[in-house]
Amino acid sequence: MSDIAPPASVPANVIETLPIVIAPSPILKAHARAVGSADQDAVRALIPRMFETMYKAPGIGLAAPQVASGLRVIVIDLQPKDQRAPYALINPEVVALSTDLATREEGCLSLPNQYADVTRPARVKVRYLDQTGARLEIEAEGLMSACLQHEIDHLDGILFVDHISALKRNMLMRRLAKEQKLKKPDARR
C-alpha cells in the first residue's frame, strides 16, 4: 500500500468523517474479513476517514466495523502528552498475551456513555501491516495493550461488554437503548 491520501472527492485539507455504528447493530457482531490486495484503494480511502472520525468523536481507537466497514483495519492514537501518535493497523493479529492480568475502565464509541471495568492480559504483542504493506509488530502494556485488544476484539465481533457479567452487560445495553431512544427525534412532529 502507498501513502494515504484523502479520497478524490474530498479537498486535500478536508477529510470527511464517517457515521459511527451504535450497538446492537449486527455489523458489530460480525467477523471482519482480511484486507487483500484488491482492497488497497478502499483501505487508502478508509484510514484517514477513520482517524478523522475517531478524533472528532473523540476517542483513542476505532475499528472498521464501527464505521460499517467489514475490513480488518483499526486505528489508534493515545495522544500522549497531547501530541498525535497515530497507528493504523491492517490485518492485526495477536501473537502473544501475558498471563498476568490488568483491569481498567473501558468505554466504546459504539456504546456511547457506557463504561465498565474489563480484565484483560496486561501485555500484548500484535503483528500487522502498515499502510505501506510492511509487516510490523508492536508490544504494548497499560492503556495501549487494552486499546489494541479492545479494537482487535471488534474485528472478531466482540464488544467490551462481552467481557463483563451478563447482569452488568444487560444493564449497560438497556441504558444505552434508553439513551438512544431519547436522542431520536420524535416521529410525530
Q: Which positions are catalytic?
A: 151
Distance CA 163, CA 59 (A): 20
Answer for the pair 56, 20: CB distance below 8 angstroms, yes or no: no
Distance CA 160, CA 174 (A): 15
In sequence order, which residues have a C-beta less than 8 Å from that of residue 85 and are 6 or more positions away? 77, 78, 79
In sequence order, which residues have a C-beta less than 8 Å from that of residue 152 and are 6 or more positions away? 63, 74, 92, 93, 94, 126
Distance CA 161, CA 83 (A): 30
β-pair type (135-141, 101-108): unpaired
Bridge partners of 93, per DSSP, are 127
